[in-house]
Structure 1
Amino acid sequence: MEFAYYPKLNFSWNQLEGPIPSFLSKSSSLDLSYNKLSGFISFLCGIKASNLTLLDLTSNHVSGELPDCWTHLENLVFLGLCGNGFFGTIPTTLGNLYSLETLKFKHNRFVGELPSSLMNCKHLKVIDAAENQLSGLIPGWLGFELPKLVILILRSNRFYGRIPLQLCNLTHVQILDLSINNIFGTIPKCLSNLTALVDKGHSILTITHHYPCDFGNGIFSESYDDAATLIWKGIMSEYKSTLGLVKSFHLSSNQLMGEIPKEIIHLGGLVSLNLSRNHLTGQINPDIGKLELLQSLDLSRNQIDGRIPTSLFQIYGLGDLDLSNNNLSGNIPMGSQLQNFDPSAFAENPLLCGLPLQRMCDQEKEKGSVQQTGLGNQDHEGGLVTRGFYISMGLGFAFGFWGVSGTLMFHESGRST
């Protein structure tokens, strides 16, 4: 089958099965996502030139190694390979996709490092490589060579080493997720350079990309809205229509140590902050309330000590909080929404007390004991015994006085007569 022009084809969300027909590569936009297609994608190698700008194979059964033949797809803007059975290393010729803005290949079995050739894709705004078996150091060139990145998700891989300081150059990044890896060292202090996360201004609801598309009868402007999956409140959720609002910084389940840098409070645009399951020490910054847009805060399973800052009262929209399994101490600040959270949010902090925990603080025990004792003494001594005692003494004195005086006066009157 041949096309007279380069059509825009969308066969997503069907029950299509079998291999992908090679003639579909002649389209300008090809969306085959959420089907049951299988086989390989080597059909892309059989064409010498391509006007393909969008290729979405998300959630199919396509498998095998990616072919190393991407040099003729220089017009490709969107490449979605998520949720398939791809394995092996990422081919270096992906670096020839000079127009590429979105690269998604999460939930496959890719191994090895991110190829350095990707630094040639200067227009990249989204990289989602989550849930693979990638390894090596997190490349510093991500921060230097790809300055337009808005979303960088490397979650659930085998990356190790320190967080490169170069990532602080990502002034447009709104979602930075390096969780569930083997990263060690400390959290960089240059976080305040992440301008998009600092900005408290209202973001647009969607993250939309516009690109030119040649249908054979002229060049037209096309667009697509990005989507991303995030672990939110312990649940994997996909965001699309509100993706632009979800500013998040996730480093959970690594080997990070040291204190949480004070510079993190400058990320006033954050909606979600997850630093759980590390080896972080020190105290929670007393000015954490400056992150007033936070809806989710997870610092659980670390070695954080000290008291819970009262500035948390300032975060009115905080709906998800987990400070459990730390070394926090003192009383949970009263008179705030903190008492409305489930006790599990504060569990396994042996020196922490107060509502919503069942463990009462010592000063509250002493206060209650003193009040009870004081009331008891007042009732038994001051209220009854002491008052009755003095009334009895007063009456006794009066009767005694007048009895003696009356007798004396009677005798004096008898003598006078």
Structure 2
Amino acid sequence: MAAKMFRICVLLILISPALAVLCNPADKKNLLQFKQDLNNPYMLVSWNPDTDCCYWNAVKCDQKTHRVISLTILYSGPFTNFSFQIPPSIANLSSLRTLILHKLPNLAGHLPPAIANLTSLSYLTISWTNVSGPVPDFLSQLKNLQFLDLSFNNLTGSIPSSLSQLPNLISLRLDRNKLTGPIPDSFGSFNSSPSLFLSHNQLSGTIPASLANQDPMRIELQMNKLEGDAYMLFGANKTTQMVDLSRNLMAFDISKVEFPTSLISLDLNHNMIYGKLPEGLKAVDFLQMFNVSYNRMCGEIPQGGRLQRFDVSSFFHNKCLCGSPLPDCK
């Protein structure tokens, strides 16, 4: 019996290294190629071919299939100071569900078409980099995408209308780039009413009327050159919580707007909006941020709701608004 137990123990010792190997061999090979294509940056020093890639920094594996499903490379101090582009070898990590490249100021070049091969992606973030060029049409091929974040880059050109073909999108972030042209009319055909973060660009033209069909949680269009009406973003039956249209060229009669009672934040400052604030704003019970300053509004501020909780700075520099918290109407 003792001899038998000894043989079992020896056998377990011999096979335990194999049992401990979790990383899919093809994924490991592809990660090492990816590292080599990046010129072996110090931030990936843990990517040692003699160790299991599921334990490497920035890598996460599926516990059942052992495939690499997440790659998250973040700013990690002075050792991030190297120049690189996203290599085509990224396409070989075919099981990726999450790809995050964040706060890498020396990441440059265009977004490579190879990303279109990552059809399992549900979360794609390439932000706070120096990536340039257009927002590519091929992103519309990533049908599993739920979150697309390309904010804080140097992207130029117009927003591709094809992004509306992403059926599961929950959040679209293209803010803090150098994008021009209009918001695509096709954005009214999203299946999923994603939150839209398009602020701090150079977008122009009118907001498409088709957005009346959408009910996103958040809409951030501030710091652009948008003009005209914004009625389509609102409606009594919508559940939108946050809208920021500040510092644009918007000009419409606010008295005709029906605001959703779900609003938590509404910022319309620095536009050319006119008319009287509608009485319906008194029914917005959870409003925590409100600013209509620097517009052309007139008439008495609705009394009896939450609007009196905001100070003068939320209302001043309008044509003839009056009533608390501003001076009484004459």
TM-score grouping bracket, smaller chain normalisation:
0.7 to 0.9
Q: Is the 8 A contact 1:187 1:261 kept in 2?
A: no
Q: 2 CA distance for matches of 1:295 and 1:305?
A: 23
State the TM-score, normalized to the length of structure 1.
0.60
Note closer, same or farther for the CA distance 1:194–1:319 as it changes in structure 2 (3 Å cut). Answer: farther
Aligned residue in 1 for 2:12: none
Aligned residue in 1 for 2:14: none
Aligned residue in 1 for 2:101: 57
Q: Is the 8 A contact 2:125 2:149 kept in 1?
A: yes
Q: Is residue 138 of structure 2 the alignment partner of residue 138 of structure 1?
A: no
Gaps of 5+ in 1: 10-15, 198-246, 339-345, 347-352, 355-360, 363-417
Aligned residue in 1 for 2:128: 83
Higher gyration radius (CA): 1
Note closer, same or farther for the CA distance 1:255–1:43 as it changes in structure 2 (3 Å cut). Answer: same
Q: Is the 8 A contact 2:236 2:261 kept in 1?
A: no
Tell me which amino acid in the other structure corresponds to 2:74.
S
Q: Is the 8 A contact 2:43 2:76 kept in 1?
A: no
Q: 2 CA distance for matches of 1:151 and 1:85?
A: 24
Aligned residue in 2 for 1:160: 204
Aligned residue for 1:134, secondary structure, equals strand
Note closer, same or farther for the CA distance 1:107–1:46 as it changes in structure 2 (3 Å cut). Answer: closer
Deviations 1:200-236 (A, max 9, x none): xxxxxxxxxxxxxxxxxxxxxxxxxxxxxxxxxxxxx
Deviation at 1:183, TM superposition (A): 0.8
Deviations 1:146-179 (A, max 9, x none): 22133111001111111111112113x1101111
Note closer, same or farther for the CA distance 1:47–1:153 as it changes in structure 2 (3 Å cut). Answer: closer
Q: Is the 8 A contact 1:297 1:322 kept in 2?
A: yes
Note closer, same or farther for the CA distance 1:189–1:143 as it changes in structure 2 (3 Å cut). Answer: closer
Q: Is residue 144 of structure 2 the alignment partner of residue 129 of structure 1?
A: no
Aligned residue in 1 for 2:218: 175
1:69 to 114, 117, 141: 114
Aligned residue for 1:57, secondary structure, equals strand
Note closer, same or farther for the CA distance 1:34–1:258 as it changes in structure 2 (3 Å cut). Answer: same
> Which residues of 2 match residues 375-390 of structure 1 at below 5 A?
none
Tell me which amino acid in the other structure corresponds to 1:60.
L
Deviation at 1:89, TM superposition (A): 0.9
Note closer, same or farther for the CA distance 1:131–1:311 as it changes in structure 2 (3 Å cut). Answer: same
1:103 to 134, 148, 161: 148
Q: Is residue 230 of structure 2 the alignment partner of residue 187 of structure 1?
A: yes
Q: 2 CA distance for matches of 1:45 and 1:319?
A: 55
Q: Is the 8 A contact 1:17 1:35 kept in 2?
A: no
Q: 2 CA distance for matches of 1:297 and 1:59?
A: 31
Deviation at 1:186, TM superposition (A): 1.6
Aligned residue in 1 for 2:5: none
Q: Is residue 315 of structure 2 the alignment partner of residue 323 of structure 1?
A: yes
2:243 to 238, 243, 249: 249
Aligned residue in 2 for 1:286: 279
Q: 2 CA distance for matches of 1:289 and 1:321?
A: 19
Note closer, same or farther for the CA distance 1:154–1:254 as it changes in structure 2 (3 Å cut). Answer: same
Aligned residue in 2 for 1:242: none
Q: Is the 8 A contact 1:107 1:132 kept in 2?
A: yes
Deviations 1:310-362 (A, max 9, x none): 134x45865896101112255x33xxxx4xxxxxxx5xxxxxx36xxxxxx88
Q: 2 CA distance for matches of 1:83 and 1:149?
A: 25
Aligned residue in 2 for 1:4: 24
Q: Is the 8 A contact 1:161 1:184 kept in 2?
A: yes
Aligned residue in 2 for 1:260: 254
Aligned residue for 1:70, secondary structure, equals helix
Q: Is the 8 A contact 1:283 1:306 kept in 2?
A: yes
Q: 2 CA distance for matches of 1:300 and 1:60?
A: 37
What is the aligned-residue RMSD (CA, Å)? 3.1
Q: Is the 8 A contact 1:292 1:316 kept in 2?
A: no
Aligned residue in 1 for 2:73: 32
Tell me which amino acid in the other structure corresponds to 1:89.
P
Q: Is the 8 A contact 1:103 1:127 kept in 2?
A: yes
Q: Is the 8 A contact 1:190 1:263 kept in 2?
A: no
Deviations 1:108-129 (A, max 9, x none): 1100112233233211111011
Deviation at 1:195, TM superposition (A): 2.4
Deviation at 1:47, TM superposition (A): 4.1
Note closer, same or farther for the CA distance 1:280–1:43 as it changes in structure 2 (3 Å cut). Answer: same
State the TM-score, normalized to the length of structure 2.
0.74
Note closer, same or farther for the CA distance 1:119–1:329 as it changes in structure 2 (3 Å cut). Answer: closer
Q: Is the 8 A contact 2:211 2:233 kept in 1?
A: no
1:276 to 269, 276, 301: 269
Aligned residue in 1 for 2:3: none
Gaps of 5+ in 2: 1-21, 32-39, 48-52, 60-66
Aligned residue for 2:113, secondary structure, equals coil
Deviation at 1:180, TM superposition (A): 1.1
Give the percent of matched residue pairs that are identical in Structure 1 and Structure 2. 23
